[in-house]
Structure 1
Amino acid sequence: MRRATAAVAFLVVFGAAGCGGEEAPPPPPPEPTRLAIIFPEGFTIEEMAERVKAVRKIAIAKRAVTPRLTAKAYRAAVTDAQAPPRFRQDAPVGKLEGFLFPALYEFAPETTARELVGKQLDAFRERFAQLDLTYARSKHLTPYDVLVIASMVEEETAVAAERRLVAAVIYNRLRIGMPLGIDATIRYGLGIPGTQSLTGAALATDSPYNTRLRTGLPPTPIANPGLASLQAAAHPARDVDYVFYVRKPESLTHFFTASEREFLLKVCEYGYACD
């Protein structure tokens, strides 16, 4: 009985030692803390900054870690960063909207905002390099124009099968000098969220982003598009003459047509407005 007690005492005091007096290996180092942030397709820079703020709060509350990453630092890093070289001739200085690729990014608590923005820019360069811009160039569009179009496609439809059709409408309207009439550009220019209705005054406000009043493209992207919208902007649907579309009620899909009369009839039928 005493031998058993002595043996237990030995293991408690020398718990790491084996029967031959050998020391057990040290425990493995703890796994480094990894965090993640998701930027959805179509997020603006400001929405991304707010997402950084939200993820930081969750990390502090749920993971008991305090990331270096803050919304303020993210905004500053975006302001300090430059567009990829091939776009600098066309992109306004200090305007990085469109270049911050939306995706899931893992990061460590010590990751800086500059490093995260760098990852987003690298991801954008990698995706954009995959595009064949031959067709866009044949329509006298620059790579930056394609990016602007992709941002509008991203905002106009969430239906994969419609992306190339929306892009075709934009191409067709540009070709005939018709205002694009995309209200998402007006919202972006005035800072009005999608959950808020556009007033008559807002629609009548003259700005470079009012594509109801002005022809051509808005001066910058209005969101950060994903790969599918980039591909649609580079490869719009061919051989379609659509210049109008309207969203179907209680649906994410749209009705497309080349006829203004047919478009207006559908607008009335869907309950939006009747002349």
Structure 2
Amino acid sequence: MAAKWQGFQRNKTRYPYLKYKTVGDEHVRDDHAGLDGFIAHIDDPIWDRIYPPNDWRCRCYVVQTNQAPEDDAVPDLKFMKPAFSVNVGKTGVVFNDQAHPYFIIPKKDEKRMQVAFESMKLRLAYGKAKYTSPTGSKIFVHPFADPVDLYDNYSNAVLISNTLKLNVKLRPHIDGAVLLNTKNPEYLINNKTGERKAPEGLNFRNVLRKAVKQGSEVVVIDLVDNPNPYKNVKAVLTQQLSRQDRFPSIKEIILISKDRKTIESIKRSAVK
């Protein structure tokens, strides 16, 4: 949790705001639904009170955005329990021990509970599609998708769904320090594991190598921060895929141009 908050802080120059989100199903509490869509600057002290989770079994989350709030309205927070009025990203604890003296996990059970929680993420259903493209392809977002990269991952997924007519799922983010040797790709793209990367240069070897370590079959290359011409990037990536001995798990690269006007699939099987 602390690592995610640090990620928000690192990206706040590009995305200075946080937006509160619910999972949008029938189990969402009415009070939490009232916060859905609320936006405030990442350094606004209100996040010290409403940063999720906000109650037992709360599945709400925040996404980073460059969308400024439309007004200065402050939500009604009377429903908030003092024990959950804490920013777990800053403190690293879900609630105050003094507020919950009866809820103490024995030290010997902590590791087992952590493993059970991370394993539960893999079994939890995605729920309803968050987006359906004009062509009928769908985007699903797991309740435990990584909030640090959620905005960029989702934005790229919409482009992919609209242009390439592919179904995209944003997978649960697993703590690799708890579930050891577990692959952690960000996407399922038409049921193929995928990873998003936003390199700033033309050396893609490290980027592709990291994607292979995550078990990715598809790599989404977003040129949002890359100054190089699209055709130059495509040429380098095509050359990488032409080497059958390199990055063998990668079957496809989806390339997204800086201006978002070109979204192209480069398949290894089609590269001469």
Q: Which has the larger radius of gyration?
A: 1
Normalised to the residue count of structure 2, the TM-score between the two structures is 0.30
Greater helix content: 1
As a proportion of its length, which structure holds more strand? 2
Structure number with greater CO (CA < 8 Å, separation at least 6) is 1
